[in-house]
Amino acid sequence: MGASTARVVVVGGGFGGLFATRALVKAPVSVTLIDKRNYHLFRPMLYQVATGLLSADEIAGPLRSILSRQRNVEVLQDEVTGIDPEKRLVHVRQHEVSYDFLILATGIRYNYFGHDEWRHVAPGLESLDDADLIRGKVLTAFERAEEMAALERTGAEGIKHFLTFVLVGAGTVGVEMASTLAEMSRMALAHDFRHIDPRSAQILLYEAAPRVLPTFPEVLSAKAQRHLERLGVKVHTNTRVTAVDADGIVANGVRVRACTVLWGAGVLASPAGRWLGAPMDKSGKIVVNPDLSVPGHPEIFAVGDTAHVVAESRNLIGLKSKQPMVMPGVAQPAIQEGKYAARVISRRLAGDSAPAPFWYWDKGDLAIVGRTYALADLRFIRFTGFSAWILWAAVHIYFLIGFANRFLVVLQWAFAFLTKRRQVRVFPGQERAASAHSPR
C-alpha cells in the first residue's frame, strides 16, 4: 500500500464488522480488523452448539481464513481498551493502532442489572466458550442426577433439583433454548439413562414482560407460548427474577430450586460510547447520525449492536414504512449498516457526494420454537409452523460462512431430524474444572 492510502480500523469481527471489511475490498484503503477472538461467529445458531446439535466449527470460521483473499486487510487478534479520537488512535492491550476512519462493531454483552456476580452461576450465550460451558452444565446435571439415583444418595426432591433447568428471559435466545432443552430431554436423552427418566426434567422459562418474544406481534407470541407449553416448558410471564445463586433463583419472592440457571434477560452495548464520550441510549448504544457516523466525529462510524439507529425502512417487497423504526439487534441491520458505512468511506475518498441517509431493507423476523415449528413475521404476512421452520432453515443456511459449513449443517440437521439424536454430547475441560474445585 502507498503512503497516501487511507487506513480504516474495524473493531469487531461480527456481522457488522465483517461485512464492512468485505465491502471495502475495492476501496483505496488498508483495513485493520481487530477482534479479541480469532473467529467470526454465526450467533443465531449458537444455541444449537450449546444443546449439542452442532459443533463449534460448523457455525464459526477463522477471520484470517475468511478474509485471506482480500489483500488490503490485516487481522489483529487483540482486545480494544480505549479510543483517543483527538489523536485518532485505538488502544489495544500492548500498543496503539492509528486510523483515518474507524468503524465500531463491538457488539453486546448480557445485562445482569447490576448483579454481575450472577454471571458465574447463570451464564449467558455470547461465545463458543459459553456454548461449551452451557452444554457441559446441562449434560452434567443429567449425569449427577443419574449418579445420585444409582447410589441412592438422594430422594425424589434431590433428583428434581438436578433435573430443573431455569431460563431467565424469553426473548429469541430464551425461547430457542427452552424449546430445544425440552425436546432434548424428551427425545435425544430419553433412553440413555438407567436410574432416571430425562423426560421428567422441568424446563422453566421466566420473563418480566407480559409475554414471550416481546418484539414479535402479540398473536405470534401467543402461538409461541402455546407451542412451548405443548413441549412441556413451564412459562412464567410478568415474573421478575430478583436473586440468582448456586441453588436456583428467587422469582416474584418465591424460591425456585434449580441446578442449572441460564441467562438471556436483556443486553448492554460495549463501552465504545464511553470511550468516545458520545451520546448513548439507556443500553449504552451510541446514538448515531443518519449516515451512521458518531456525532462530532465524522470519521468514526458505529454499526450493529454498538449503534442506536433510527431509520426509514422498506419491507421485503419494497413497500416503505409509515414511520422510522429503531433497528433491532439482529444480523440483518448489522450487515446492512456495515456495508453502508463502507460505502460512505469509499465515496468520501473518491470525492463523490455522500450517499442518501441509511435506510433498512426489513426482511422480517424469524424465531424457531422446536425442531419443526417456527414463527415468521415478514411484515406484510405472518405465519407459523413447518413452513416458517423451512424458511428459517433456508435463511440461516444461506448466511452461514462457507459452503462446507452449509453442507455439514444440513447433514447434521437431517441426521437429528431422522434419529432425534444429538451428535455433540461431549464437553471438554471436565478434569480441569474438577481439579480446580477439589480440596488440596
Task: Check if 176 is active-site.
Answer: yes
pLDDT at 4: 64
Q: What is the pLDDT of residues 63-77, one digit of tens each?
A: 999 999 999 999 999
When pLDDT is averaged across residues 137-141 and rounded to a whole number, the result is: 94
For the stretch 372-390, what's the b/e string if a residue is b when 16 or more beta carbons lie within 10 angstroms of its beta carbon?
A: ebbbbbbbeebebeeebbe
Which of 252, 226, 236, 241 is CA-nearest to residue 204?
236
Residue 249, CA atoms < 13 Å, CB-side half-sphere? 23
Which of 52, 59, 143 is CA-nearest to residue 424?
52
When pLDDT is averaged across residues 358-387 and rounded to a whole number, the result is: 95
When pLDDT is averaged across residues 24-43 and rounded to a whole number, the result is: 96
Q: What is the pLDDT of residues 295-327, one digit of tens each?
A: 999 999 999 999 999 999 999 888 998 899 999
C-alpha cell of residue 232? 412441556
β-strand partners of 326: 310
- Asked if residue 437 has pLDDT above 80, the reply is no
Task: Give the confidence band of 423 by pLDDT, cuts at 50, 70, 90.
Answer: low
What is 116-265+366-437's CATH number? 3.50.50.100
Q: What is the pLDDT of residues 167-183, one digit of tens each?
A: 999 999 999 999 999 99
pLDDT at 412: 73
- Asked if residue 140 has pLDDT above 90, the reply is yes
Task: Give the confidence band of 267 by pLDDT, cuts at 50, 70, 90.
Answer: confident
Confirm if 204 and 258 have CB atoms less than 8 A apart: yes
Stated as kind and residue range, the H or E segment containing 287 is: strand 286-287
Residue 405, CA atoms < 13 Å, CB-side half-sphere? 21
When pLDDT is averaged across residues 238-259 and rounded to a whole number, the result is: 96
CATH architecture of 6-36+78-111+268-363: 3-Layer(bba) Sandwich (3.50)
- Asked if residue 1 has pLDDT above 60, the reply is no
Who wins on pLDDT, 284 or 188? 284
The mean predicted confidence, pLDDT, of the chain is: 91
pLDDT at 236: 98
Distances in Å between the Cα of 435 and the Cα atoms of 83, 141, 401, 440 are: 40, 18, 37, 9
- Asked if residue 210 has pLDDT above 50, the reply is yes
User: CA–CA separation, 414 vs 409, rounded Å?
Assistant: 8
Residue 169: partners with Cβ closer than 8 Å, 6 or more residues away? 206, 207, 263, 264, 265, 266
Task: Give the confidence band of 439 by pLDDT, cuts at 50, 70, 90.
Answer: very low
When pLDDT is averaged across residues 432-438 and rounded to a whole number, the result is: 44
pLDDT at 129: 93
pLDDT at 400: 80
Of the residues 58, 126, 146, 176, only one is catalytic, namely 176
Task: Give the confidence band of 2 by pLDDT, cuts at 50, 70, 90.
Answer: very low
pLDDT at 257: 96
CATH 3.50.50.60 intervals, the chain: 6-36+78-111+268-363
- Asked if residue 115 has pLDDT above 60, the reply is yes
Edge-to-edge strands of the sheet including 101-104? 73-77, 29-35, 6-11, 101-104, 297-302, 293-294
Task: Give the confidence band of 87 by pLDDT, cuts at 50, 70, 90.
Answer: very high
Residue 45: exposed, middle, or buried by beta-carbon count in 10 A (0-12, 13-18, 19+)?
buried
pLDDT at 350: 95
Long-range contacts of 288-294 (CB under 8 A, 24+ apart): 290/357, 290/358, 291/340, 291/344, 291/354, 291/355, 291/357, 291/358, 292/337, 292/340, 292/341, 292/344, 292/358, 293/344, 294/104
User: CA–CA separation, 11 vs 103, rounded Å?
Assistant: 6
- Asked if residue 145 has pLDDT above 80, the reply is yes
CATH 3.50.50.100 intervals, the chain: 116-265+366-437
Task: Give the confidence band of 421 by pLDDT, cuts at 50, 70, 90.
Answer: low
